[in-house]
């Protein structure tokens, strides 16, 4: 990912989650009002301010224990034009937008920065909000452990063992907090942030997993939404949730590999892999199979070898952004010679511990996953046969196959009930949230939404891997409220 996973929703419908069944907080009902002060950290816009809010650990017990939420803001640059606040909802789960007002916020056009306070936050469990950890061993922080790649022969036995080990560690170390990290909790936190800011309605720009949080918020609190932008959308499947998002990698990789193959076979490319695009796929599959049999030591990486699954995971990571194609090609060229380039820098284990615990908690608390090994064996076998590039990973057993708790909250079904103020933006070739998944989000929102589809490759469309047409459409919507009257295609 650039994030741990891309997720979706599960089956819905408890009365507390139906449109109109939740009474939004007013500003006076917030637990605290922000006390803004200078943010700590480097590279931040000097105007960015930070504060800490308190929210219930368990929304079923609003008067019970509280946890901290770290929030940030850069005030609207033209007070006379100020409309309100736009919340930058991060991806993940496990991501944070605390520094985004100083980061991606700088990419927003001037008319948007004039109009809104830019609000970032560290979602529950993410430091410097009250943090959570599972205290995992270093090896279990590898993406190839968290994304459950089967063994070279397709066996899932080792994955089930890993799931039990990580789940046991989270149960021992995660405390009460890890049981109360979920998408519904995140959406309720968003409304606490809105209320604390004194805003009757809030706008949002949610990216990747953040589109699910934004969609759930818009379903729970429709009359508290202003202008909602959902960028790189997952399928809000109300039955399978994150299992559907994981499975979407099958389609996402197939959508993207032809683009990589064209690039990797282009004349004049210093990292050219083959003379034609048609040769790149079998070349990759042969190399991955060879590395399954004969891994290459890779000091400094996690794990410290380049095996077939590490190569596949690297491919998947690379497809998030076409600018990363050279790194994958260099790795392939080196591995074909039996060598490896220097191991890429990775975040410190302390950061990975926190990110991983938040991701695992969210994914496993949102929906109950099957416990039967046979379910995953069948899914992996079918996936490996149909989608050899992803080798069965998208249907394999994640940590949640051994999660010790059942979900405590009913999931939210996204519907067309609410104001028509949602704009979806999506790239056609997105490895993590493919176009087919975004169309499911569009279908769920019905008349509430319009979708902009970019003829573009990569994850994160607006102001990143999209098109000028798409960027201008989203910017105009945020700045003025003008939204296309129908779905549009941008080239």
pLDDT block averages, 10 residues each, the chain of length 491: 33 23 35 86 96 98 97 98 98 97 96 98 98 97 93 97 98 97 98 98 98 98 98 93 94 98 98 98 98 97 97 98 98 97 92 97 95 98 98 97 92 96 98 98 98 98 98 98 98 97
CA–CA gap between residue 16 and residue 22 (Å, rounded): 6
- State which residues form the domain around 398: 136-162+253-366+369-402
- Name the nearest CA neighbour of 61 among 176, 183, 142, 149: 176
Of 356, 382, 402, which marks where a domain is finished?
Answer: 402
Indicate whether 356 and 426 sit together in one domain. Answer: no
* Structural domain contains residue 183: yes
Of 215, 207, 233, 193, nearest to 89 by C-alpha is: 207
CATH of the domain at 32: 3.40.50.1820
Please report the pLDDT score of residue 468 as a whole number: 98
Residues 115 and 224 occupy one common structural domain: yes
Among 380, 402, 424, the domain boundary falls at 402
Structure tokens at 63: 């008067």
- Give the 3-state DSSP-derived string for 248-272, with helices as H, strands as E and coil as C: HHHHHHHHHHHHHHHHHCCCCCCCC
Residue from 490, 489, 476 nearest 229 by CA = 476
Task: Check whether residue 115 and residue 236 sit in a common domain.
Answer: yes
How many domains does the chain divide into? 2
Shared-domain flag, residues 127 and 142:
no
Q: Last residue of a domain, which of 402, 420, 446?
A: 402
Q: Which of these, 181, 172, 171, lies nearest to 58 by C-alpha position?
A: 181
Same domain, residue pair 398 and 265: yes
Is the same domain home to 221 and 296?
Answer: no
pLDDT at 396: 97
How far, in whole angstroms, is CA 432 from its chain's centroid? 8
Contact between residue 397 and residue 163 where contact means Cβ atoms under 8 Å apart? yes
Alpha-carbon Rg of the chain, whole angstroms?
A: 22
Q: Does any domain span residue 169?
A: no
Give the C-alpha separation, 287 to 272, whole Å: 16
Regarding whether 355 and 292 lie in a shared domain, the answer is: yes
pLDDT value for 33: 84
Model's pTM, two decimal places? 0.93
386 and 443 co-located in one domain: no
Residues 262 and 146 reside in one and the same domain? yes
Query: For position 28, what pLDDT does the model report?
Result: 37
Residues 398, 313 share a domain: yes
Residue among 271, 278, 312, 308 at smallest CA distance from 292: 308
Does the residue 3 lie in any domain?
no
pLDDT of residue 32: 62
Please check whether residue 8 lies inside any domain of the structure: no
Residues 231 and 289 in one domain: no
Same domain for 435 and 373:
no
Which class for 20: exposed (0-12), middle (13-18), buried (19 or more C-beta within 10 A)? exposed
SS3 68: strand
């Amino acid at each position: 990912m650039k994030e741990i996973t891309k997720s979706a929703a599960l089956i819905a419908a408890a009365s507390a989650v139906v449109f109109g069944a939740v009474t939004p907080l007013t500003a006076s009902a917030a637990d605290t009002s922000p006390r803004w002060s200078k943010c700590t950290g480097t590279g931040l816009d000097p105007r960015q301010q930070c504060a800490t809010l308190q929210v219930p650990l368990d929304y079923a017990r609003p008067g019970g224990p509280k946890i901290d939420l770290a929030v940030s803001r850069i005030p609207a640059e033209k007070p006379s034009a100020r409309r309100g606040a736009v919340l930058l909802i991060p991806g993940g789960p496990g991501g944070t937008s605390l520094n985004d007002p100083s980061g991606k916020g700088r990419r927003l056009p001037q008319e948007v920065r004039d109009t809104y306070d830019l609000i970032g936050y560290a979602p529950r469990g993410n430091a410097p909000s009250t943090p959570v950890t599972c205290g995992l061993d270093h090896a279990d922080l590898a993406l190839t452990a968290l994304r459950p790649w089967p063994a070279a022969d397709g066996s899932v036995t080792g994955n089930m063992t890993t799931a039990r080990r990580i789940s046991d560690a989270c149960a021992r170390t995660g405390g009460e907090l890890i049981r109360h990290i979920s998408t519904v909790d995140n959406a309720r936190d968003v409304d606490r942030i809105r209320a604390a800011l004194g805003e009757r309605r809030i706008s949002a720009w949610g990216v990747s997993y953040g589109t699910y949080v934004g969609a759930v918020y818009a379903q729970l609190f429709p009359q508290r939404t202003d202008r909602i932008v959902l960028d790189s959308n997952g399928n809000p499947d109300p039955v399978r949730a994150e299992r559907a998002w994981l499975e979407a990698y099958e389609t996402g990789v197939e959508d993207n590999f032809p683009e990589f193959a064209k690039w990797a076979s282009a004349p004049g490319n210093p990292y050219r892999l083959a003379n034609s695009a048609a040769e790149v796929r079998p070349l990759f599959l042969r190399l991955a199979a060879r590395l399954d049999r004969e891994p290459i030591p890779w000091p400094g990486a996690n794990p410290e070898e380049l095996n077939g699954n590490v190569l596949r995971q690297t491919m998947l990571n690379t497809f998030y952004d076409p600018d990363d194609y050279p790194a994958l090609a260099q790795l392939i060229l080196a591995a074909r010679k039996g060598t490896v380039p220097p191991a890429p820098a990775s975040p410190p284990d302390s950061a990975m511990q926190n990110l991983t615990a938040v991701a695992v908690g969210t994914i496993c608390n949102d929906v109950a996953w099957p416990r039967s090994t046979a379910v995953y064996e069948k899914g992996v076998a079918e996936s490996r046969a149909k989608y050899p590039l992803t080798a069965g990973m998208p249907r394999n057993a994640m940590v949640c196959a051994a999660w010790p708790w059942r979900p405590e909250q009913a999931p939210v079904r996204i519907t067309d009930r609410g104001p028509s103020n949602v704009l979806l933006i999506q790239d056609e070739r997105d490895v993590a949230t493919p176009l087919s998944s975004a169309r499911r989000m569009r279908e769920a929102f019905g008349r509430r939404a319009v979708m902009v589809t970019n003829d573009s490759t990569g994850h994160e469309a607006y102001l990143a891997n999209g098109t000028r047409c798409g960027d201008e459409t989203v910017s105009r919507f945020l700045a003025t409220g003008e939204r296309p009257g129908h779905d549009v295609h941008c080239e």
